[in-house]
Amino acid sequence: MATKHPHGDADPSTSPPPPPSRRPRGFASASTPAAPPPPGRRRGEREREREKERTKLRERQRRAITSRMLAGLRQHGNFPLPARADMNDVLAALARAAGWTVHPDGTTFLSSPPPPLPSPAQFGAFQATSLETPVFTNSLNSYAIGTPLDSQASALQTDDSLSPSSLDSVVVAEQSIKNESYGNSSSANSLNCMGSDQLLRASAVCAGDFTKTPYIPVYASLSMGIINCYCQLVDPEAVRAELRHLKSLNVDGVVVDCWWGIVEAWTPQKYEWSGYRDLFGIIKEFKLKVQVVLSFHGSGECGSGGVLIALPRWVLEIAQENQDIFFTDREGRRNTECLSWGIDKERVLRGRTGIEVYFDFMRSFHMEFRSLSEEGLISAIEVGLGASGELRYPSCPEKMGWRYPGIGEFQCYDRYMQKNLRQSALARGHLFWARGPDNAGYYNSRSHETGFFCDGGDYDSYYGRFFLNWYSGILIDHVDQVLSLATLAFDGAAIVVKIPSIYWWYRTASHAAELTAGFYNPTNRDGYSPVFRMLKKHSIILKVVCYGPEFTVQENDEAFADPEGLTWQVMNAAWDHGLSVSVESALPCLDVDMYSRILDTAKPRNDPDRHHLSFFAYRQRTPFLLQRDVCFSELETFVKCMHGEATQNFVD
């Protein structure tokens, strides 16, 4: 009897179902094209991508609003909020200001009844105990004078549009944010009877006792023209008269610029220090200290006899054949103020790299004045790292037509920088990214006028983040290389680095002017911490530029400037990284308000960590250096307050 094959002649109706087909693997899978997704699925994917972009835009807007609110609380309320504050930090600060006790675990209770508000007569005699939190005081004052309950409830409200997961969820103080000054226009009693200038002066008088506070040295800069282009001291007697005046004011020392274009002017590696040697000898006679600034840039100002301080002549001769040693903008215009960071490792300077040229100059200075450093005459050495001696790209050159508040332009179009950009793009796997942005505007553009810097612009795209990371990374690499050799050359001396104050467009999402200057610091990113980590690695003293009251936030400010907010971010980020911080005044001190503001910055009253400046430097050629009767009493009191010796307050 023949045996049937179990699969050959089986009845189809009774046979088991065929096994499922397997997905081809390996090369076989490539031969089978995948079926395209149905049209409905494609539309759904596009809608999800659009929703992601809308979510990102909403989050950026929330963070920008949060940043402005935090800045208002810090600046006008003196709330000691950390750099990355959340809602708990803000609530705790408000509760403490109201007299409540807040423990680290969140336990909150009213330890004692809030102190009664002082009467207007007491304020007229300046008997108030504290005016350190004027915004919160004005809010409490509105409760004390019979304000209706509905308006009281709106004084402090929670912004429900902010999600708890946002970077800085905060409590919004509507009344205080709208009023940039310390006064409250809705009331006419108590504190509000005084003008904003009177409140500032009252605060200075009430909190003007700086005795037993930390000693902060004060330095004043000497004029550029005292050394001519042949490195000769022009007028020794005029220098002695100026130093004698400074000595009478109890100033600790002076700031002296040592120009690369003067010392190594004619021949590579031939240094002439004779004029500076004579100058340091005169300063030593008056027992003043010296802070030396090694200036590796040129100056647009004229020294004695109309001499322009430029880069060394032999460098300019090299530039006649190779202009790519200078920073270059998108139009191909060269900036001859300083050398491009693209040649830091390129042997284009008579067989030396840019880094080697800087190191040879620093080593020559140390060998020439080593004895003065050991004696303590030279207290610190500031190393110039970019345009105007500051750590930044020359993104806003006036000789190229830039005017405030232009956003500036990226300076990365010389041959060597473009080579580096191409290598970075190739390593990333996107060679078409080896270009600068073509929609970033011009020197005098506004951020909202450009496709790159506007809200939701290309600065936050994949390409934009790549380019800005590369652009700021070049700055950080330059810092690391120069400071590594500086610590080697100066053998333990205190080294100072100056950070610029690019405060315009700070209240926008992109911070366009900071981006072109090399600081990747939009509202959703801390652009200063990477720089400060590098400075901490080399134990550097940070110098911050400080501006006067006329540069505070204005409601109708078309530049969206915020110098106080920027200074607060930079100083607190530096202190968080363990850096010593100093301040340089960029404007003349001609009134009491300016001195009070500098003192508040130098010795923060509400800082729980008791931070203070390491020194204060005045870099302008100011009237008090030339005219003894201008602001003399205020300046003398200011110096005593910085020294922690003052027993009297400022006078008008």
As annotated, the active-site residues are: 390, 584
Number of helical H runs and strand E runs in the chain: 22, 14
What's the full length of the chain, in residues?
Answer: 652
Question: How far is 74 from 81, CA to CA, in rounded Å?
Answer: 7
Q: b/e per residue, 422-450, with b = 16+ CB within 10 A?
A: eebbeeeeeeebbebbeebbbbbbbbeeb
Strand, helix or coil for residue 259: strand
Q: Which two tokens stand for residue 377?
A: 């005459």
* Residue (of 133, 145, 207, 143) closest to 176 by Cα position: 133
Among candidate residues 340, 282, 292, the one with its CA nearest the CA of residue 315: 340
CA distances to 347, 500, 530 from 473, rounded to whole Å, are 21, 17, 9
How many whole angstroms from its chain centre is CA 340? 22
Helices (H), 369-511: 370-375, 415-428, 462-490
Return d(Cα 186, Cα 293) in angstroms, integer.
51
Helix (H, G, I), strand (E, B) or coil at 264: coil
Cβ distance 418 to 412 under 8 Å? yes
3-state secondary structure of 291: strand
- Which amino acid, residue 246? L
DSSP annotation of 166 reads: S
Angle at 295 between CA 290 and CA 298, to 5 degrees: 140
For residue 521, which of 537, 506, 504 has the smallest C-alpha distance? 506
- Write out the DSSP string of 308-349: B--S-HHHHHHHHH-GGGEEE-TT--EEEEEE-GGGTT---B
Q: Parallel, antiparallel, or unpaired for β 218-221 and 171-172?
A: unpaired
First-to-final CA distance of the chain: 128
SS3 content of the chain, % helix, strand, coil (to 5): 45, 10, 45
